[in-house]
Structure 1
């Protein structure tokens, strides 16, 4: 897939499901998989942006987080209320068809936006919001 990472805040509750989605459905490459003290971090990225990575981390991985904070983060993740990622692509409709075919929850069908992009939105297996945008001027990948 022709994806470029723009922003990333990804907590996941099931790394295996998340890796399948980001690697096998979206086509990102796994760059690292590290476990520590019963937790797991998986680093992925677009082959088109070797300098940018997405780290899938457990919710509440901060060592300073209290048990109450960790529970609150897990509840927010379950509701899909944590931040997600914005990708750009040269073909929003093709990407939408591929992701929809994988059975992922669709939040927004491809739509032409008044600010110059065509975009769509999904939730990843953990409930994080993912948006995919294509510049309407046909210039390919967006730099914003």
Structure 2
């Protein structure tokens, strides 16, 4: 059996991302470990209701992992929302939209009916694209 355990998102500022994903979206911290000798922080969050999955909030690395030009390219793509999309499912898109809006989440698109369900869009502080979807049962 194979399952998905983690997904990584590049973030500009791990502390800012941590606040967004925990305080605004409602995730919890799973791991927060710093390897001082490497200048590396392993930071993961996840949903309290989904213990088998974590989201890794990864700072854009420098040398020797990534050269400066590549790091700049990654940061540019992120700021435009083109470094990938995190797809989240909810049982009530309108309710979650209102809850998150009240917590200060800025949406790029309000909930709309789609053939597959009700869907809306937002971005995290680093610019990563997030879609929140209430999938139709028959889809």
Calculate the TM-score normalised by the size of structure 1: 0.80
Aligned pair count reads: 133
Contact preservation (8 Å) 2:82, 2:128:
yes
Q: Which structure has greater strand proportion? A: 2
Aligned Cα root-mean-square deviation (Å): 2.4
Tell me the residue number matched to 2:53: 52
Which 4+ runs in 1 deviate beyond 6 A?
none
Shift of 1:105: 2.6
Tell me the residue number matched to 2:79: 78
Give the unaligned 5+ runs of structure 1: none
Tell me the residue number matched to 2:127: 127
Cα shift readout 1:90-123 (whole Å, capped 9, x = no counterpart): 1111111122223333111111111x21111101
Contact preservation (8 Å) 1:86, 1:132:
yes
Tell me the residue number matched to 1:29: 28
Secondary structure of the residue that 2:134 maps to in structure 1? Answer: strand
Give the unaligned 5+ runs of structure 2: none
Contact preservation (8 Å) 1:60, 1:74:
no
